[in-house]
Amino acid sequence: MSFTVSARKYRPSVFETVVGQDHITQTLRNALKKKHLGQAFLFCGPRGVGKTTCARILAKALNCENLSADGEPCGVCESCNAFNNHQSFNIYELDAASNNSVDDIRSLVDQVRYGPQVGKYKIYIIDEVHMLSTAAFNAFLKTLEEPPAHAIFILATTEKNKILPTILSRCQVFDFHRIMVKDISLQLKKIAEVENITADEEALYVIAQKADGAMRDALSIFDRIASFNADNITYKEVIDILNILDYEYYFKVTDFLISSNLSESLLLFDDIVNLGFDGLNFIDGLSTHLRNLLVCKEPNTIKLLEVSESIRGKYLQQAEQITLSYLLSALNVLNKCDINYKMSKNPRLHVELALMKLSHLNDAIRFVEEEGSEKKKVSYNAVAPMPAMVKEAPAKKQAVEVVAPVPSSPKPAMSFSLNKLSDEKRKQKLMEVANAPTEIKKEEEFVAITPEEFAPAWEEFINHLKELKKDYIATSLAKYPPEYTETGSVKIRVENDVIVSKFREEKILFMEFTKQKFNLKPVQIDLYIEAMSAEESKKYIFTSKDKFNRMVEINPLVQELKDRLGLEFEY
């Protein structure tokens, strides 16, 4: 007796046995019962999910002489028997991948004119319809729009986006989904029982995951593994045959990483490489593992975990030992490693660097959390006793930043003080201030830079703004040299408030630039920037109209020339 592959042997013959497409099968059965059928259907979806199978069941049901009450073909009438024996003259199947020319479609259209010899309908199933040429689609369009009463078309495609809109608008479109891992696993279990094969639940889940939502692929893998051992399918055999890394490796490496055991994680990765697994597959698998742990952190998302019950328990147990912050940060590290892996000349090093980062990730997270709580504590302690301290504070600047008074001017001014201290030193000084019982401890005297030092630094800062493509603010600041005094006070006057606002946005950038320029030297710069009065700004030329007015002042005939020629300004 010849062997028949499972994909054909267990192909559904009625709607009820179709796996994972209840939204499609129920709709078609209701349409058959109520006789509300269109004359053109389009079945769309990934490969191996039941598009052609449903098309054949629908075709059989349309001519069934004893349709059941729930819309299923009887399977025993003359029409159903003819279909089951591949002898039906009312059902035509066309593979558009190899019959996609205009002549092929014209031949089909010629057949449509003739009614069925037996039964009520002639059904035309066109598979991979997206492969038809544009000319073939156009030749088919008129027939699809106004077919004879006895003709029904069922089109199937994996690429709906390639179907012409004019075709889509003339069809009832049904979108097939990827089949869930759980549904595929249950179907494989049923088939294994029929074939008298003992199969581990974990093994069937791995096959279902490998099939990626396609029942046909799952059955092909099932046949391949059953050929190795026809009596018993074990988890170990499945991962060996499919060359899949065992779950246990990911559970182990995750335990090593969250316990900061770098040496063991690197040794385990070396074992994985020696088993013949690619580093990129390891990174992808570890990312999936951490994603599964992430969905276990919330009760509402556990349903997204598509694994067997025994593996699910392990995930839930390990998820309790790992923080959400770690998982999110670790996934970001692995994502960057995945992106850089293929471009690297030493890809293994990228994986090992990622493991190093993940091993120390918990320490980094704890440090950040402690820093955050320490800053809150310092802020509270510094603010609480402030009224008494300010009263006794001397006039000189203290470790706490103090903004110098802004000189009176006709328009609002912006000022800030730049205290050049390292982060560690500033933190130390803040702590001293916060813990001072009666007075603030004085900071060392600031060293004011000279105008000779400031001038080239300012010029470099302007050039730096230009490099950052901030030409507008750079050009505006370059027009007016700053007024600098040896006490560290800098005053800049610009033409309008817009530039004042723009420079306020660059405050931090200026501070960082000055910090690098003077190598953490304790420099104090009080910078005042204010808008000019309307009278002062008149002497500066900014627009085309300003230039023209200046020319008119020099030579009034320019105005006469403009009026005679009817010229206007371009803005």
Is residue 386 assigned to a domain? no
**pLDDT on residue 293:** 93
**pLDDT on residue 377:** 55
Q: Are residues 518 and 506 in the same domain?
A: yes
pLDDT above 70 (res 231): yes
**pLDDT on residue 315:** 92
Q: Are residues 474 and 502 in the same domain?
A: yes
> What CATH number is given to the structural domain containing 107?
3.40.50.300
Is residue 373 assigned to a domain? no
Is residue 387 assigned to a domain? no
pLDDT above 70 (res 444): no
Dig out the tokens for 250 from the structure. 């990911």
Name the nearest CA neighbour of 148 among 174, 117, 177, 109.
109
Q: Are residues 194 and 291 in the same domain?
A: no
Q: Are residues 171 and 208 in the same domain?
A: no
Q: Are residues 119 and 195 in the same domain?
A: no
pLDDT above 70 (res 537): no
For residues 293-300, average pLDDT: 90
For residues 183-211, average pLDDT: 90
Indicate the number of domains in the chain: 5
Mean pLDDT over the full length of the chain: 78
For residues 301-311, average pLDDT: 86
Is residue 427 assigned to a domain? yes
pLDDT above 60 (res 539): no
**pLDDT on residue 445:** 45
> What CATH number is given to the structural domain containing 214?
1.10.8.60
Q: 208: how many CB neighbours lie within 10 A of its CB?
A: 27
pLDDT above 70 (res 61): yes
Is residue 378 assigned to a domain? no
For residues 401-429, average pLDDT: 42
Q: Are residues 111 and 49 in the same domain?
A: yes
Is residue 283 assigned to a domain? yes
**pLDDT on residue 5:** 86
Spatial distance between the Cα atoms of 512 and 289, rounded to a whole number of angstroms: 41
Residue type, 25: T
pLDDT category of residue 520 using cuts at 50, 70 and 90: very low
Report whether 141 contacts 169 (CB < 8 A): no
> What CATH number is given to the structural domain containing 318?
1.20.272.10
Is residue 1 assigned to a domain? no
Last residue of a domain, one of 347, 363, 379: 363
Q: Are residues 322 and 419 in the same domain?
A: no
Last residue of a domain, one of 363, 390, 424: 363
Is residue 369 assigned to a domain? no
For residues 323-330, average pLDDT: 91
Name the nearest CA neighbour of 132 among 103, 99, 110.
99
**Which residues does residue 152 pair with via DSSP β-bridges, in sequence order?**
123
Q: Are strands 413-419 and 232-233 parallel, antiparallel or unpaired?
A: unpaired
Q: Are residues 60 and 130 in the same domain?
A: yes
Strand order in the sheet with 489-494: 413-419, 524-531, 489-494, 483-484
pLDDT higher for 116 or 425? 116
**pLDDT on residue 411:** 39
Q: Are residues 62 and 10 in the same domain?
A: yes
Residue numbers of the domain that contains 569: 541-571
Spatial distance between the Cα atoms of 67 and 30, rounded to a whole number of angstroms: 12
Q: Are residues 452 and 548 in the same domain?
A: no
Last residue of a domain, one of 175, 208, 229: 175
State which H helix or E strand residue 472 sits in: helix 471-479
Percent of the chain with pLDDT over 90: 21
Dig out the tokens for 89 from the structure. 């003259």
Q: Are residues 308 and 233 in the same domain?
A: no
pLDDT category of residue 41 using cuts at 50, 70 and 90: very high
Q: Are residues 301 and 354 in the same domain?
A: yes
CA-based end-to-end distance of the chain = 88
